Amino acid sequence: MERVSERKRESEPVIYSTIIEQGQQFVRDFQQRLENAPRVVKFNQYPTMTNAMARHKQYTQHEPANEGHIQHRAKRLAITSFNLREQIFPPGMKSGVHRHFLEAVFYVIEGEGHVIHDGIKYPWEAGDVICVPTYCVHERANSSNTKEARMLVSTHLVFELLGLESTEQIKVNANYRPPEGSQEIRDSRGELVGYKYPDGLELKIGADPKFQALMDAKKQVEFAGQPHDTYDRYCQTLVEQTRWRFSMPHVVKGKEVPWENTRMGKIKHLVSPYRPSPLMLYDVYVQEIPPGGHSGKHRHVSEEAHKILSGRGYDIQDGKRYDWDAEDVVAVPINTVHQHFNASPDKPVTFVSFQSRIFHHLGHGGFEHMEDAPDYRA
Ligand SMILES: [Fe+2]
Ligand SMILES: [Fe+2]
């Protein structure tokens, strides 16, 4: 009480904080940015790019976090919490080998091959989902010498916001060539450990010993017996979370997941909170809409993006129509009422959807269902 009365006697100058006003301005800017950002992008709208890992098309703009707030992501497509790109593997191509804290998800559009995750080999084929949990050494290969493989790929940006973005590029892919004019960087033993590009950017090759030591130490922690108190439960959680992602299947086999006749339509939920996977930040499903049909109508706080695998049609999002065709990518921004329509009288539509599960963990998960799909039968 004495302290309170002392503080009352102090005559402090009044300094105004503008944190609320800045927050309100941020939301206005964000909404405007989403309004201006494309809802539909075409496969050929952006060039195919190559990097140390593979070849890909970037449907979202990649900018380092220090060059702008997350809202600045919504340039190429009206989504902000995850990157979206397509990875293209020519026949026989192997990716580089790398590791990052970012969680990543791959939907195999076509082709077949395998991944190696932390030394374990998993086969994949069209219709499968490859799950890359946080901090997993991973590489992929197209096992066909005649056919291309393609995947829709996403990495989640929440890790980047938390300062855990760094990618350890352990090996570059066999076809990788640094930009013309780059200089090799070699260590004291003459080993190649990276390249300095003409614009000053550097590619480092090799594992980061600091992260490696941190994660190795975590892996060696044990917890025996029952927890005695709340503090013990935290200690047990570290052990459980570290082990959990190694015990889950890293490839979800599309053929093994049943189609469900839901109020939203015919859906196969490949990755969800209700099916074991090592992913915490994504939901993935495929949906089929019959000729001339349409989906149910709903809204969710989380954003999602669809890749149209076959057919043509349109979305109605908050009352506006957005037309799409096979190979297009369609964004559904946060808090948007949406419904999908098949515009063909004789061909089905299929699409795959990536949905950001971070909203679920923030207490804003689930769907607000508004209208049933016409062919739904309870
Ligand atoms: Fe990766
Ligand atoms: Fe949706």
Please tell me whether residue 244 adopts helix, strand or coil conformation: helix
Asked whether the beta carbons of 311 and 347 are under 8 A apart, the reply is yes
Tell me the CA–centroid distance for residue 68 and ligand 1, in Å: 23
Tell me the CA–centroid distance for residue 98 and ligand 1, in Å: 6
Average pLDDT of the residues of the chain = 91
Closest ligand to 334 CA?
A: 2
Tell me the CA–centroid distance for residue 170 and ligand 1, in Å: 11
Tell me the CA–centroid distance for residue 355 and ligand 2, in Å: 8
Using a 10 angstrom Cβ sphere, with 0-12 exposed, 13-18 middle and 19 or more buried, the burial of residue 110 is middle
- Range in 32-46, 181-195, 297-311 the model is least confident about: 32-46
**158-215: per-residue pLDDT in tens?**
888 888 877 899 999 888 889 999 999 999 999 999 999 999 999 999 999 998 999 8
Closest ligand to 335 CA?
A: 2
Handedness of CA 93, 98, 100, 103 (dihedral sign): positive
Please tell me whether residue 172 adopts helix, strand or coil conformation: coil
| Domains of the chain in sequence order | 251-371 (2.60.120.10)
Tell me the CA–centroid distance for residue 33 and ligand 2, in Å: 21
Tell me the CA–centroid distance for residue 102 and ligand 2, in Å: 24
- Range in 66-80, 81-95, 137-151, 258-272 the model is least confident about: 66-80
Tell me the CA–centroid distance for residue 253 and ligand 2, in Å: 23
Residue 132's contacts (CB-CB under 8 Å, 6 or more residues apart) are 103, 104, 105, 106, 117, 138, 250
Tell me the CA–centroid distance for residue 278 and ligand 1, in Å: 15
Q: What is the pTM of this model?
A: 0.92
The terminus-to-terminus CA distance of the chain in angstroms comes to 64
Six-digit token pair at 313?
């049609």
* Closest to 281 in 3D by CA, of 1, 120, 94, 82: 82
Average pLDDT of span 314-341: 97
